[in-house]
Homo-oligomer: A and B are copies of this chain.
Amino acid sequence: MKRGVTIKDIAKKLNMSVSTVSKALNNDVSISALTSERVKALAKQLNYIPNEAARHFKLAKSFTLGLIIPDILDQYYAVAANGVEETAEKNGYNVILTQSHEDEQKEDRIVDVMIRNRVDGVIVSITKNRTDMQPFEKLLSIGIPVVCIGREPKSGQFDYVSSNNHDGAVMATEFLIGKGHRRIAHLMGPAGMRTSQARFEGYKQALANHGIPFRNELTECVDLTRAGTFAAMQRLMRLPEPPTAIVTFKNYVTLDAIDYLKKYYPELVDKVQFTGFGNLPILHHLDHKPLASIEESSFEMGEEAARILFERIGEDGENTERVYRSSQLPCRLVVHDDGE
């Protein structure tokens, strides 16, 4: 790092003290207009660029947010990251984006890096299998606020933002009911995830709302692999009375399920109707697509999480009695019509 122009240089050239220069640059009210002008003019002329590293150090603030997501290639998180980033930028903050790749140990290391770098706050979508929230509790104990997104914290007291999975599942299911379906199956997510449970509850709720009895055999868990979805679909389709519609947990589950039908029950493709979470732009290009998608407001989730985080950062840290927030953003039902 080549040594750049510093306020010291400016002060020297102007025969002023560094403190005056600093204040002028920071628009301190106690500086005369004239002085302020001169300082700023010279600063521009010399191409002065403040050394944030020094500021951070001095102010004991990094003006940086840490963001931990499982996978950047998952649009859901990528979009959420955009929401975080945009909000951060508005507040003059940078974001360090990291991926856990669903690896708990990697997540531990990431948290450590964030502490070392003294980020001012962390937004995290915790790994699927994590059981203890220890590293995040450590962050809190150090005074670095944490906001969870998408995946509910397993324990402890954390702010939490997600889409309203329950209501989204209700919407999806009721949409299919509205289309006249009565035997509606659910390809449920991994049982260990709260998200799966919430969507499952919504599915059952919708059935109940319309007087349709819940049938255990119509719900199958998937592990988010193609093979897992195929196996689940096989069990569903071999039932004495197979479902006529299916509510799915996620994008790729929907696509794999449709692929299964294409392969083994080609006559039923486009007969069995799907509605699921996640709305990929690519759906446009599919011949056999879900009837509708539940679009999760992941951008807004990122925004909201960042907003909450900034509030926490602004707080004094000494309020021992915080109220932790849990906010559920509404989903939207998007119907895929073929007309264009």
Contacts and interface: CB of A to CB of B under 8 A. Distances in A.
Given A53-B53, A75-B73, A117 B94 contact: yes
A52 B94 contact: no
Given A78-B72, A282-B282, A117 B53 contact: yes
A2 B118 CA distance: 10
Main secondary structure of the interface of A (DSSP, over half): mixed
Contacts of A307: none
Interface in A63-105: 72-73, 75, 78-79, 81-82, 85, 94-99
A321 interface: no
Contact of A142 (B4, B53, B54): B4
A23 interface: no
As for how many copies of this chain the complex holds, the number is: 2
Given A255-B285, A287-B287, A54 B52 contact: no
Interface residues of A, number: 53
A263 to B, nearest CB: 8
Interface in A99-154: 99, 112-113, 115-118, 120, 142-144
A36 interface: no
Contact of A287 (B57, B280, B282, B288): B288
Contacts of A118: 1, 51-53
Contacts of A73: 75, 78-79, 82
Contacts of A49: 112, 115-116
Interface in A278-295: 280, 282, 284-288
A96 B95 contact: yes
A334 interface: no
B115 A99 contact: no
Contacts of A54: 57
Contacts of A50: 116
A64 to B, nearest CB: 8
A273 to B, nearest CB: 17
Contact of A317 (B2, B52, B60, B285): B2
Contact of A1 (B81, B116, B143): B143
A289 to B, nearest CB: 9
Nearest to A106: B89
Interface string A30-70: 00000000000000000001111110110011100000000
Contact of A57 (B53, B61, B85): B53
Interface of A: 1-4, 49-54, 56-57, 60-62, 72-73, 75, 78-79, 81-82, 85, 94-99, 112-113, 115-118, 120, 142-144, 255, 258-259, 262-263, 280, 282, 284-288, 317, 340
11 contacts: A2-B142, A49-B115, A49-B116, A51-B118, A52-B116, A53-B117, A72-B78, A73-B78, A78-B78, A263-B340, A287-B287
